[in-house]
Amino acid sequence: MPNHFLSTQDLSCTQIHALLDTAENYLHSPPLPTLSGQWVATVFFEPSTRTRCSFTMAARRLGAEVLPLDVTYSSMQKGEAIVDLFANLQAMGCDQFVIRHGENGMLRQIADYCQTARVINAGEGSNEHPTQALLDMLTIRRHKANFTDLTVAIVGDVLHSRVARSDLFTLHTLGVKEIRLIAPSCLLPNDSEQFNAVVFDNLAEGLANVDVIITLRLQKERMRGVEAFDVEAFVNAYQINSKTLRLAKPDVMVMHPGPLNRGIELTSEVADGPHSVILEQVKCGVAVRMAVLSC
Ligand code: NCD
């Protein structure tokens, strides 16, 4: 069976560091065309800018051919089952599928139909986004010496965020000193105890002595009763701005997976300020995806 890449839960601490080492090398040295002759299909059932573009760049830098499938014009519009779509792409000779889908569990179903092609999770529902977690860890590792000394706070819509979920599993595996979740109770998952995370509903208390802040977009497309959600109250209580940023450590890193909603979860002065590593995360994303495509 192909070595599918579906979940951060499959990765040990040693495997994560090995992938990050490979990615770090790709940041410095020109890549060899190790995927020459391979076909990588990118199939996105949800919108994407960073993930789709960086997977495309990563595959092409390694010498692969990229097949971008536009699902709005695929035969699924004629009633074709999703597993048949991938069975056909596999029959044509695709070697790897980079897939984003809105439904939790769908990538496992597709993977079970793939005897030769490998499935890579490029974001699945509110479940996982493993390559985003790896690029987040690479960015942190480039700035901070040891994960075991770090206090990391994830702020905002943790409940609907596949990024938060994959970050939580990965941070836990890497043995960070403390993981904090800062959010109102309606945006917190009910299984956060498995990550040994400490929950705060007060931003000032949650940010004290924090080394890394991971901010998140409000995922309105996944919220039930979104009309009732009070965005203004969220902004007043949880926004990362120049005032609230001062509550964390003086050398705190501010991260965000993108897309940003400026003025909501964080302000422009923070997003574009000296603590922000948001565009470095994007740069690390290409290198991490090269590492994943070639592992
Ligand atoms: C995230 C996603 O799609 O999960 N974006 C990304 O891949 N960088 C986060 C989001 O949509 O808010």
Rounded CA separation 81/88 (Å):
11
pLDDT of residue 40: 98
pLDDT one-digit tens code per residue, 213-256: 999 999 999 888 777 889 999 999 999 999 999 999 999 999 99
Burial annotation 32-59 (CB, 10 A radius, 16+ → b, else e): eeebeebbbbbbbbeebebbbebbbebb
Q: What is the mean pLDDT of residues 93-117?
A: 96
Give residue 100 CA to ligand 1 midpoint distance, Å.
Answer: 10
Q: State if residue 257 touches ligand 1 by the CB under 6 angstroms criterion.
A: yes
**Residue reference for tokens 């040295």:** 29
pTM of model > 0.85? yes
Query: For residue 92, what are the contacts with CB-CB under 8 A and spacing of at least 6?
Result: 39
For residue 122, give the ligand 1 atom closest to its CA. Answer: 7
The pLDDT of residue 2 is above 80: no
pLDDT of residue 52: 97
pLDDT one-digit tens code per residue, 142-153: 999 899 999 999
Q: State if residue 261 touches ligand 1 by the CB under 6 angstroms criterion.
A: no
Burial annotation 101-133 (CB, 10 A radius, 16+ → b, else e): beeeebbeebbebbeebbbbbbbbbbbbbbbbb
pLDDT one-digit tens code per residue, 126-178: 999 999 999 999 999 999 989 999 999 999 999 999 999 999 999 999 999 99
Q: State if residue 165 touches ligand 1 by the CB under 6 angstroms criterion.
A: no
For residue 51, give the ligand 1 atom closest to its CA. Answer: 7
Q: Which of 132, 223, 256, 292 to mutate to test the pocket of ligand 1 (most atoms within 8 A of CB)?
A: 132
Rounded CA separation 247/265 (Å):
16
pLDDT of residue 24: 98
Rounded CA separation 289/186 (Å):
33
Residue 125's pLDDT band, with cuts at 50, 70 and 90, is very high
Residue 267: both structure tokens together: 């302000």
Of all helices (H) and strands (E), which one includes residue 63? none
**Residue reference for tokens 């977009």:** 217
pLDDT of residue 195: 83
Rounded CA separation 215/291 (Å):
25
pLDDT one-digit tens code per residue, 6-49: 999 999 999 999 999 999 999 999 889 999 999 999 999 999 99
Among candidate residues 260, 266, 212, the one with its CA nearest the CA of residue 238: 266
**Residue reference for tokens 């035969």:** 75
